[in-house]
Structure 1
Amino acid sequence: MGRGDLTDAEWERLRPFLPVSNRRCGRWRDHRQVIDGILHRVRTGVHWRDLPERFGPWKTVHERHRLWSADGTWELLLQRVQAEAEAVGDIDWDVSVDSTSVRAHQHAAGARTDLPPALAPKGAGRGRTPGRNTVAEPRRPPGGGGAGSEGLGRSRGGFTTKVHLSADGRCRPLSLIITPGQRADCTQFGPVLDKIRVPRIGPGRPRKKPDSLAADKAYSNGPCREYLRRRGIPHTIPEKTDSQAARLRKGSRGGRPPAFDEERYKKRNTVERAINKLKHARAVATRYDKRGYVYLGTVTAAALVIWLRT
């Protein structure tokens, strides 16, 4: 076993949830070898063509990562591992939200906007309902940032992508969204929290609501606070200086200041540490993927490793 490969215990946790067949390719084999190749590329950022031979043909590894990024397999695996943690009470539901900017490599530019059928996600638009142990046909690529943007934009850091995420109290990502680098954090506050979905093992609805939430001043506005009040989520978000001054100028009409728990706010560093763990993966810290949905799959695979090894 090479450095960074799945251990036997980690493989047994993933194996029951992996698709066994594909409509175009028939029955798949060697999932473990291919996943080890994908994780090697996520960890090192190596060119797909330069993958070591022990992982098999690089085209096979790349194509399976692309397909699983498109059809939601990586997201499914992440949710299954989260469900196992929730079943034994291992998730700290004091959640924090933040984002991080990722510099895009020059190879991330130039994705075609008019993909021919041979290059488009396989099965897109066929509308087939997948059966048990069969991979779903790719849905609309969840790259974020609108059609055609691929989650790339210009910000102060240059050509960048922004990763928005929520993390539990043990520094593990719960949900992930990518947008162009110039997109404001507060615009993705609701979508990030709406994407939290930890299934139950056995009967019961998935858990979607945190016990409490902490965020920085980027999320200190009316819509974010109204969203949290509507869902009944206790929160700690510091008030912006200009908002505080505007409230004080209004006197009694300005209302009371928002509640702020200083001790709870100290736990917000968990999301910063989750970002740090994600960026240990070089293919996350620098974006090389042209397609937004493929890069989101790369980030999700890195998050899956964090859950498996924490």
Structure 2
Amino acid sequence: MAEPGRPLGGGGAGGEGLGRSRGGFTSKLHLSADGRCRPLSLVVTAGQRADCTQFRSVLEKIRIPRTGPGRPRTKPDSLAAGKAYSNGPCRQYLRQRGISHTIPEKTDSQAARLRKGSRGGRPPGFDEDRYKKRNTVERAINRLKQSWAVATRYDKCGYVFLGTATAATLIIWLRT
């Protein structure tokens, strides 16, 4: 089960992946994780970037090598995500790729749908048991933060920080 994740830290402008956010001058590390809390893909952005804007790029970077011959898998079996990803473009992208998903509906979207009556359509499917497993991405972030270099983010260039996070990800994969 893959999950696009919450950001790690804050963000910025330009190629440095640094920018102004509520937390100050920081960057965000967007990621997806498998069911065993291992990061599958990483994207570094500026701190002010919204999570849902990186949804597609995070999912498109997933590459899971096969044990035998063949191209790596690029499509997760299923996906659980938070309310930040409960918008039309994210759901449409998942439908196009044929990825089953569990994303709760925002309360304002739900109220708008109910106001429209029968024209509002039916509510999106939601599996509570599968949604309970969504915390794997938070646990993957905590594993990454065990690496001091990832937690402090002293690297000034975005590609250097991405390399540091990738090295921490490799250590996580080798330990499990």
Q: TM-score range by the shorter chain?
A: over 0.9
C-alpha contact (below 8 Å) 2:10/2:18 kept by paired residues: no
Query: Aligned to 1:100, what secondary structure does the other structure show?
Result: coil
Shift of 1:205: 1.6
1:202-213 correspondence runs (5 A): 202-213=68-79
1:267-286 correspondence runs (5 A): 267-286=133-152
Shift of 1:204: 1.1
TM score, norm. by length of structure 2:
0.96
The amino acid that maps onto 1:264 is R
1:227 alignment partner, one of 87, 93, 111:
93
Partner Cα separation in structure 2 for residue 262 and residue 200 of structure 1: 30
C-alpha contact (below 8 Å) 2:2/2:32 kept by paired residues: yes
1:223-302 correspondence runs (5 A): 223-302=89-168
The amino acid that maps onto 1:308 is L
Question: Higher relative contact order by CA 8 Å / sep ≥ 6: 1 or 2?
Answer: 1
2:30 alignment partner, one of 148, 159, 164:
164
C-alpha contact (below 8 Å) 2:3/2:134 kept by paired residues: yes
Partner Cα separation in structure 2 for residue 200 and residue 234 of structure 1: 21
Shift of 1:95: 1.3
Shift of 1:203: 2.1
Structure 2 residue 17 is matched with structure 1 residue 155: no
C-alpha contact (below 8 Å) 1:101/1:181 kept by paired residues: no
Q: What is the Cα-based RMSD across aligned positions, in Å?
A: 1.4
Query: Aligned to 1:102, what secondary structure does the other structure show?
Result: coil
Partner Cα separation in structure 2 for residue 275 and residue 101 of structure 1: 7
Alignment deviations for residues 99-146 of structure 1 (CA, whole Å, 9 cap, x no partner): 223258xxxxxxxxxxxxxxxxxxxxxxxxxxxxxxxxxxxxxxxx77
Partner Cα separation in structure 2 for residue 256 and residue 249 of structure 1: 12
Query: Aligned to 2:2, what secondary structure does the other structure show?
Result: strand
Alignment deviations for residues 148-194 of structure 1 (CA, whole Å, 9 cap, x no partner): 34111111111110000000000000000010011000000010000
The amino acid that maps onto 2:7 is T
Shift of 1:298: 0.2
Alignment deviations for residues 35-59 of structure 1 (CA, whole Å, 9 cap, x no partner): xxxxxxxxxxxxxxxxxxxxxxxxx
Shift of 1:202: 4.0
Partner Cα separation in structure 2 for residue 103 and residue 217 of structure 1: 19
- Which 5+ residue runs of structure 2 have no aligned equivalent? none
C-alpha contact (below 8 Å) 1:171/1:274 kept by paired residues: yes
C-alpha contact (below 8 Å) 1:101/1:160 kept by paired residues: no
Partner Cα separation in structure 2 for residue 305 and residue 160 of structure 1: 24
C-alpha contact (below 8 Å) 2:83/2:103 kept by paired residues: yes
Alignment deviations for residues 63-87 of structure 1 (CA, whole Å, 9 cap, x no partner): xxxxxxxxxxxxxxxxxxxxxxxxx
The amino acid that maps onto 2:6 is S
Shift of 1:290: 1.1
Partner Cα separation in structure 1 for residue 6 and residue 82 of structure 2: 10
1:197 alignment partner, one of 40, 60, 63:
63
Structure 2 residue 175 is matched with structure 1 residue 175: no
The amino acid that maps onto 1:265 is Y
Runs of 4+ deviating beyond 6 Å: none
- Which 5+ residue runs of structure 1 have no aligned equivalent? 1-93, 105-144
| Residue equivalent to 1:307 | 173
| Residue equivalent to 1:102 | 9
Partner Cα separation in structure 1 for residue 163 and residue 48 of structure 2: 21
C-alpha contact (below 8 Å) 1:170/1:270 kept by paired residues: yes
